[in-house]
Structure 1
Amino acid sequence: MKLEDLESIMDKARFVAFLRHFGGLRIYIPKMIKADHPIAVVVGLDTATLLSDLYQGESLDLPTLDRHDRRLKRRKILDLSKQNKSFNQIALECGCSRRYAVQVCADGREEIEAERVEPKFRQLELF
């Protein structure tokens, strides 16, 4: 199960509530879901029915909410780096250590370079 799959079926508030309640667990998605089912109580019957339509009869291993939060923090770090913010500025804005910001940027170096905001200059060759 990918986080993106869950995010595509429900709005952010329901997604966070769903992972806060069931994150880290293996849950069974019934073929027919009723209003008093724990999933429907947490996310509402409409969203629970949609979830049931997509995953009926399956057991899902759900990621924790921490994993989602780490992914969002990583994305924010990379976005700030693309804006040429210093590692200290990034650490302050993201609430992380400078060292973690350096590690994330090192892992995403290719992505940062591809989307950097600054203009790119070329060296002219003079003969």
Structure 2
Amino acid sequence: MSVLHELAEVIGHDAAIKLGQHLGGVRLYIPHQMTDSHALVALLGLDLAQKLSNYYQGEHIELEREPVQKA
């Protein structure tokens, strides 16, 4: 399973596509605690950014550039 497919499971297809479009090809750190000032909050909103934080808890993820296909 690709990272974008995994992200789609965690935050939804549309949000995963948005991340891929804006940050594709980037190695991204997901903090343990999400703050209002984090760039992911600006891109996705606090609720979805917090879901990422709860799932990845301090991990780095490599975002692919390929689009995620709806299942």
TM-score range, shorter chain: 0.7 to 0.9
Q: How many residues align?
A: 69
2:63 paired residue number: 62
Q: Which structure features the higher share of helix residues?
A: 1
The structure with higher relative contact order (CA 8 Å, sep 6+) is 2
- Structure 1 unaligned runs (5+)? 76-127
Question: Which amino acid in 1 is paired with 2:36?
Answer: A
Confirm or deny: 8 A CA contact 2:34 2:53 kept in the other structure: yes
Shift in Å, 1:23: 1.0
Higher alpha-carbon Rg? 1
Confirm or deny: 8 A CA contact 2:27 2:61 kept in the other structure: yes
Deviations along 1:18-40, whole A, 9 cap, x unmatched? 11111110011111011220011
- Structure 2 unaligned runs (5+)? none
What is the root-mean-square deviation of aligned Cα atoms in Å?
Answer: 1.8
* Structure 1 moving runs of 4+ over 6 Å: none
